[in-house]
Amino acid sequence: MVLLAAALTACGGKSQTEVEVKEDLTAKQLLQGIWLDDDTELPLLRVEGDSIYYADPQNMHAAFRVVHDSIYVIGNTTAAYKIDRQTEYSFWFHSLDDEIVKLHKSENVEDALAFAAREVEVIPTVQEVIQKDSVVMFQGTRYRGYVYINPSQMKVVKTSLNENGISVDNVYYDNVIHICVYEGAKLLYGKDITKKEFASIFSDDFLGQTILTDMEFMGVDGEGYHYQATLCVPESPVCNLVNVTISYDNQLTFQLKEE
């Protein structure tokens, strides 16, 4: 018996339900091996034990369970796929795009080469430190703001659909941005900023799939020093701008920039 937390939607039911179910171990055993796309003859999945591996080395492997007529893939989120046909050498299921994915089991040992990379390829968003500086004048005083965008080892997992309509998780590296303000040679403020600073504005779910991509020094006024941060979901058009104000007593405040 297993406890499966799945997103199951039914009329009059709850959207998130924990159900205690009996796993179909016979169906799981039939899935063991490498599966090729019927149309392209290219390797798509390798099933080994309780895990599914993908041919794309940037996709994280995921746990799975077979329950009744569905396969539940448990990664960053849980996705359920209705099984249309399953035999020892054939496996058809409904994708999240509501298309039928038709696979057949490989009998060629060389197909295993498509899954030779055991480690997931992490996608860097910044290859090296990027330095930006700006000069502004306020009440006759010259201020210089520096921004250093530093790559880090902090991982961001983004869930998306691949070309087959399968939910996959890709891993990216987040950034740490160092900001500082100088008056002449005098350092007025310096701090490392990570996306955790923005937890008061965004939900944990949203922050978990975003990267702190940029920071612009906007100027100085009577309220303090102003920056504008950019947080984006990688490889998507979804970005948010946040106005960051550093008061003269070195307190940070954040305000989401409205479009």
Domains in the chain: ranges and CATH: 2-115 (2.40.128), 130-256 (2.40.128.510)
How far is 252 from 197, CA to CA, in rounded Å? Answer: 9
Asked if residue 9 has pLDDT above 80, the reply is: no
Mean pLDDT, range 159-183, rounded to an integer = 93
The two structure tokens encoding residue 239: 């970005």
Average pLDDT, the chain: 88
Q: What is the pLDDT, as a whole number, of residue 90? A: 97
pLDDT in tens, 48-105: 999 999 999 999 999 999 999 999 999 989 999 999 999 999 999 999 999 999 999 9
Compute the average pLDDT of residues 203-227: 91
Q: How confident is the model at residue 17 (pLDDT cuts 50, 70, 90)?
A: very low
Cβ–Cβ < 8 Å for 35, 45: yes
> Phi first, then psi: what are they for 102, rounded to 5°?
-110, 120
Q: Which two tokens stand for residue 96?
A: 């999240």
